[in-house]
Amino acid sequence: MIRVFIVDDSAICCQVLTEQLEADGDIRVVGAAHNGRTALAKLANARPDVVTVDLNMPGMNGLALIEAIMSADPRPIIVVTGLDAKARDLAVAATARGALELVNKIQGRDDEASAALRASVRRLAAVAVGPVAPADPDRVIGSTWPTPIAAERHITPIIGFGSSAGGPQALFEVLAALPYDLPAAIAVAHHLPADFGSAFARLVRGQVKFEVLVAHDPIVPTPGVIVLPPGGADLVLEAGALRARRPAVSPLLCPNVDVLLSSLAAGPGAHAGVVLSGLGHDGSVGLAAMLAAEKLTIVQHRASAAVWGMPRAALPSALEVLETHAIDDALVRWVRERTQVRRSD
């Protein structure tokens, strides 16, 4: 039996969520609270597998509650939010504080949305979150990298990031550490419901020093630019430009990491692929293609990954397995070596 704790300031919403979650008989709501303080007091005794959190609450709001849970007793958290732009902005901000998944608050009777909510709970119930022991470096960064190729020097490298649950925290840590004058473009594929694409773009703009563009039209990669897909679309490199494409797989895996990284593997240039925290195995195929194409392949180490699924699946294709704080150094070294190279072998 999967145990769920609900945090929502509306007693009616708590009751509706309880009915939706318990409909199939394999999920049981073990407690509820109408504000953050009360939730923190009850969670230890309730011992839930998953916590659902509403963000707009009196006193300690949902963002503060998520930070407190993740620092004191980490558990998988689903944000259940409204549909207006402000609510979506707050929900996406919650993913940078530790929430693993976002779902829209269900209005009225919607059996399909209720089933999707239960599926999210089942998917997250077995996820282990929280810190583990730091990594012990076992090799020098760059010791297994391909030799720079002179012909690539005039092509702007693209760093492709792929992430899902738990990924925004790592993504923003790496992006914040990259230098403003990095001679590379950045492309990001982070799994999000289509409705949250614009909110994610606004969050990224508020977190980084680079220019952030959304690929409503094709964008030619230039240094210092971060490119995101529109909500509900994949991002691909094609004919020298980053373009939005109709989703190739499931909406749960959109934008798709394999699609982005595979397109970088197929294109000329000293591109790099980074697979960060996330559920499932999206990114493993794309990173394998990048390794075969002699690009840089990096996987976030278990020690700093909130969710180890995607990094673990991509591990066989990683030239580097790094904690979050070390990823930026590797990227800077790779890009600068390959944009300054004077001759080939």
Report the Cα 127 to chain-centroid distance in Å.
Answer: 15
Q: Which of 9, 54, 258, 282 is catalytic?
A: 282
Partners of 225 in the β-ladder: 211
Spatial separation of the C-alpha atoms in residues 83 and 54, rounded to whole Å: 12
Q: Can 282 be counted among the known catalytic residues?
A: yes
Q: Which of 164, 262, 263, 304 is catalytic?
A: 164
SS (H, E, C) the chain: CEEEEEECCCHHHHHHHHHHHCCCCCEEEEEEECCHHHHHHHHHHHCCCEEEECCCCCCCCHHHHHHHHHHHCCCCEEEEECCCHHHHHHHHHHHCCCCCEEEECCCCCCHHHHHHHHHHHHHHHCCCCCCCCCCCCCCCCCCCCCCCCHHHHHCCCEEEEEECCCHHHHHHHHHHHCCCCCCCEEEEEECCCHHHHHHHHHHHHHHCCCEEEECCCCECCCCCEEEECCCCCEEEEECCEEEEECCCCCHHHCCCHHHHHHHHHHCCCCCEEEECCCCCCCCHHHHHHHHHCCCEEEEECCCCCCCCHHHHHHHHHCCEEECHHHHHHHHHHHHHHHHCCCCCC
**How would you classify the pairing of strands 158-163 and 101-104?**
unpaired
Q: Which of 191, 234, 262, 304 is catalytic?
A: 191
Q: Can 271 be counted among the known catalytic residues?
A: no
Reading the block at residue 269, the tokens are: 């240039």
**How would you classify the pairing of strands 2-7 and 50-53?**
parallel
Contacts of 143 (CB under 8 A, 6+ apart): none
Peptide bond before 230: cis, by omega within 30 degrees of 0?
A: no
Annotated catalytic residues are 164, 191, 282
